[in-house]
């Protein structure tokens, strides 16, 4: 599956049709060997849905997700990606993370799922 993902990126680019299925697959399989490919897709794709899918995969396989991509995901345009970030981001040691979580919690236009994830993280310290 990881080899197929890498071939897909090389052949189709980071926005290639069919990559979503491969990205979801490596996430479901917890294929640690896919970390670099998922990071590349997350950073380079123009598709917010594919970026969210890559973030979900990274949350499973990338030990640095809580201090890396999860921080960036707090500002994503997709609510499901912001919710994922709120559930995984490391809250200690980075003032901008706590500030962003507080802003998301106070935003009346934010989705209920994001509010729940953020408030859960803020109340747990």
pLDDT of residue 94: 84
pTM: 0.92
Gap between the Cα atoms of 103 and 123, Å rounded: 14
Gap between the Cα atoms of 125 and 122, Å rounded: 5
Q: What is the DSSP letter of 75?
A: T
Kindly list the averaged pLDDT for each block of 10 residues, start to end, along the chain of length 125: 94 93 94 96 96 97 96 96 96 90 96 95 79
Establish how many alpha carbons lie within 13 A of residue 57's alpha carbon, considering only the half-sphere containing its beta carbon.
31
112 by Cβ neighbours in 10 Å (0-12 / 13-18 / 19+) ranks as exposed
pLDDT of residue 92: 87
């Amino acid at each position: 599956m990881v080899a197929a993902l890498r071939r897909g990126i090389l052949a189709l680019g980071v926005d290639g049709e069919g990559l979503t299925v491969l990205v979801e697959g490596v996430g479901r399989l917890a294929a640690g060997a896919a970390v670099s490919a998922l990071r590349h897709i997350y950073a380079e794709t123009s598709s917010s849905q594919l970026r969210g899918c890559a973030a979900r995969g990274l949350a499973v396989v990338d030990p640095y997700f809580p201090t890396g991509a999860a921080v960036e995901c707090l500002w994503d345009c997709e609510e499901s990606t912001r919710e994922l970030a709120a559930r995984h981001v490391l809250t200690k040691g980075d003032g901008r993370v706590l500030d962003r979580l507080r802003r998301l919690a106070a935003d009346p236009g934010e989705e209920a799922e994001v509010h729940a994830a953020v408030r859960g993280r803020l109340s747990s310290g």
